[in-house]
Amino acid sequence: MTSNQTEIQARLTMSAAEICTQHLRDLCSVTRDELTLSLDDMSVDFTRQPVTASIMQQLCLLAEVSGVKEFQQQMMVGQAVNISENRPVLHCGLRAPERLQSEEWKQLSGFAETIRADDTVRHVINLGIGGSDLGGAMVLKALAHDCDGPDVYFAGNIDPAALGDVLKHCTPEHTRIIITSKSFTTAETLMNAALARDWFAKAGVDADTAFIAVTAAPEKARAYGIESNKIFSFSDGVGGRYSVWSAVGLPVMIAIGADKFSSFLRGAHAMDQHVMTAPFADNIPVMMGLLRVWHRRYLNRSSYAIIPYSERLSRLPAWAQQLEMESNGKRVGRHNELLDKPAAPLIWGEAGTNAQHSFFQFLHQGIDEIPLDILLPLSPSNNADDPFWKAHHMTLVANAVAQAEALAFGTDNLDHPHQHFPGNRPSIIISWQRTTPYALGRLLALYEHVTIVSGFLFGVNSFDQWGVELGKARAIALEEALKTDGSFSDFSPAAAHLIKRARDIIG
């Protein structure tokens, strides 16, 4: 760390102590126009944040002296910024306009359109988990009003109920299965694929013609028996949680069509251009990334909620959870050093207004002050002229804004403490006109850049995920011990007891 960084961090620590003595009521008693940024129809309102103009300047300075810009440039030109795996980070290139001229795009989009035009295909099931599931499932729901292809389903969990529930809606002779797995080794996905094969076999339908693969390991898909013209690959430099833009988006493309998918890519590209060109003080992802660091490192807030006021975006918190927590949930820095301060916050959330009727009590009156993002499309995605839909949507908007105000400003009732709302709970409102494919692409790219900027400032490598490996290895060892009736001496007596009990019950 340079002396500049140390000095700015010390100043920020002092500013954090000072800001804790001020209430958002005071901070917001004057107009804070400089704390609202926009990009086309997207507006991001930071006014209810525990910051002053001077704090924002110090945070921007921290980004500058830490080398955020240089890091972003290295990433964009394909340097191996994923240093523990010695790989470049290539997902932004997937939404660059040049891709739409590429052979890869022509094959992928051509295939999606062929499936859409084929009347015999009525159901498409994506088998994948984590980054091979969450992005696609979330986008499919977000753009439900744009879906005009065959019905598309996602099954991820190794619990057979996940795929079992989907299969109930499908007929084998009209179904295609996409195995989506970057590594093509993930146990959940391969076991679900085996379950699907069994389903076809029991119906007397040839499974081989039904299977398609999306992977960064095409040779493994070929070895599995999938025909080469039905294998769509992407680069190792595209991390699973950043991969919805790649061939991993195939199920979405089949549902909405290649044109709309290209519009989704264009929206993301607009955010890439913004993040690379806007000065830090006007740069939406950089400001959000800095505030994430501000809350986590300086105000010691370990949790961060994302509340989309949109039923269609109800899966976004789950996607954002993997994005941030798998990227930045680390205690070791980029150069193998132990971090002396925490990195990623715990990300969680649920759609509003539903969330208001479950955990908002905790947000308003709990002891912890939890910052949140409120996501707000300002008009419905469809039926925008229907008077009932308009009225409903206005009520949704009113609720979102009301919650931000109530959380920030509270209301005093010191005679009845249980009716006292302390306020001072910060939020960011991100609003846009309507959730089109373009607007959605722009929003998702925003969150990706927030994770990358904050991860860099936390000092971690946002592109690896070694922490998932131990659990996988233990599950394999446990199953192996069961199968071979071997020894459970590597496991605790409680683990051995439970697994044997399950075996006795399952039979």
Minimum Å gap between C-beta 364 and ligand F6P is 35
Q: Please, which residue, 110 or 467, has the CB nearer to ligand F6P?
A: 467
* Minimal distance, residue 363 CB to ligand F6P, in Å: 29
343-364 per-residue burial string, b: 16 or more CB within 10 A, e: under 16: bbbebbbbbbeebbeebbeebb
Question: Is 472 a known active-site residue?
Answer: yes
User: At closest approach, how far in Å is the CB of 221 from ligand F6P?
Assistant: 12
Site string for ligand F6P, 206-245 (x = CB under 6 A): ----------------------------------xx----
Q: Under DSSP, is residue 501 helix (H, G, I), strand (E, B) or coil?
A: helix
Interface of this chain with ligand F6P, residues 442 to 471, rule: CB under 6 A: 465, 468
Which residue's CB is nearer to ligand F6P, number 124 or number 213? 213
Q: Residue written as tokens 């959330």? A: 349
Of 68-76, 136-144, 182-190, 222-230, the segment contacting ligand F6P by CB under 6 A is 182-190
Q: How many residues bind ligand F6P (CB under 6 A)?
A: 14
Residue among 202, 335, 357, 416 flagged as catalytic: 357
Q: What does residue 506 show for φ and ψ, rounded to 5 degrees?
A: -70, -35
Among positions 189, 327, 328, 431, the unique one binding ligand F6P when judged by CB under 6 A: 189
Q: How far is the CB of 85 from ligand F6P (least distance, A)?
A: 12
Across 303-371, the runs of DSSP E, i.e. the strands, are 303-308, 346-348
Strands 427-432 and 151-155: unpaired
**In the complex, minimum distance from the CB of residue 463 to ligand F6P, in angstroms, rounded to a whole number:** 10
Cβ atoms of residues 225 and 165 within 8 Å: no
Decide: residue 132, CB within 10 A, 0-12 exposed, 13-18 middle, 19+ buried.
buried
Smallest gap, in angstroms, from Cβ of residue 210 to ligand F6P? 19
Q: If binding is defined by CB under 6 A, does position 136 make contact with ligand F6P? A: no
Task: Give the nearer residue to ligand F6P in terms of CB position, either 88 or 377.
Answer: 88
Dihedral (CA of 42, 48, 53, 54) sign: negative
Sign of torsion over alpha carbons 223, 225, 229, 234: negative
Q: Which stretch binds ligand F6P (CB under 6 A): 73-81, 183-191, 406-414, 415-423?
A: 183-191
d(CA 494, CA 507): 20
Is residue 330 annotated as part of the catalytic site, yes or no? no
Of residues 387 through 446, those in contact with ligand F6P by CB under 6 A are: none
Helix, strand, coil percentages (3-state) for the chain, rounded to 5, are: 55, 10, 30
Q: Is 326 a catalytic residue?
A: yes
Radius of gyration of the chain (CA): 24
- Of 4, 6, 57, 183, the one binding ligand F6P (CB under 6 A) is 183
- Taking the C-alpha atoms of residue 490 and residue 277, their distance in angstroms, rounded to an integer, is 54
Q: Output the six-digit token pair for 421.
A: 């709302």
* Distance separating alpha carbons of residues 119 and 462, to the nearest angstrom: 43
Dig out the tokens for 375 from the structure.
């996501």
Q: In whole angstroms, what is the distance from residue 346 CA to residue 284 CA?
A: 21
Peptide bond preceding 353: is omega within 30 degrees of 0, i.e. cis?
A: yes
Q: Of 123-131, 164-172, 202-210, 402-410, which segment contacts ligand F6P by CB under 6 A?
A: 123-131
> Taking the complex as a whole, how short is the minimal distance between the CB of residue 177 and ligand F6P, in angstroms?
15
159 vs 206 by CB, closer to ligand F6P:
159
**Spatial CA neighbour of 70 closest among 59, 81, 84:** 81
Residue 249 interacting with ligand F6P (CB under 6 A): no
Q: What is the largest CA-CA distance in the chain?
A: 73
Give the nearest distance from C-beta 232 to ligand F6P in angstroms.
13
- CA atoms lying within 13 Å on the CB side of residue 240: 23
d(CA 60, CA 58): 5
Of 63-71, 127-135, 293-301, 496-504, which segment contacts ligand F6P by CB under 6 A? 127-135
Q: Which stretch binds ligand F6P (CB under 6 A): 128-136, 204-212, 412-420, 486-494?
A: 128-136
Residues 6+ apart with CB under 8 A from 355: 307, 349
The strand pair at 151-155 and 123-127 is best described as: parallel
Binding mask 140-179 for ligand F6P (x = CB under 6 A): ----------------------------------------
Catalytic residue among 188, 324, 326, 448: 326
Residue in 106, 392, 472, 497 annotated catalytic: 472
Sole binder of ligand F6P in the list 129, 140, 179, 258 (CB under 6 A): 129
182 binds ligand F6P (CB under 6 A): yes
Question: Contacting ligand F6P (CB under 6 A), which of 9, 47, 66, 186?
Answer: 186
Looking only at residues 308 through 337 of this chain, which bind ligand F6P when binding is defined by CB under 6 A?
Answer: 326
Cα 243 from Cα 234, distance rounded (Å): 9
Query: Which sequence positions are flagged as catalytic?
Result: 326, 357, 472
Point out which residues bind ligand F6P (CB under 6 A).
129-132, 181-183, 186, 189, 240-241, 326, 465, 468
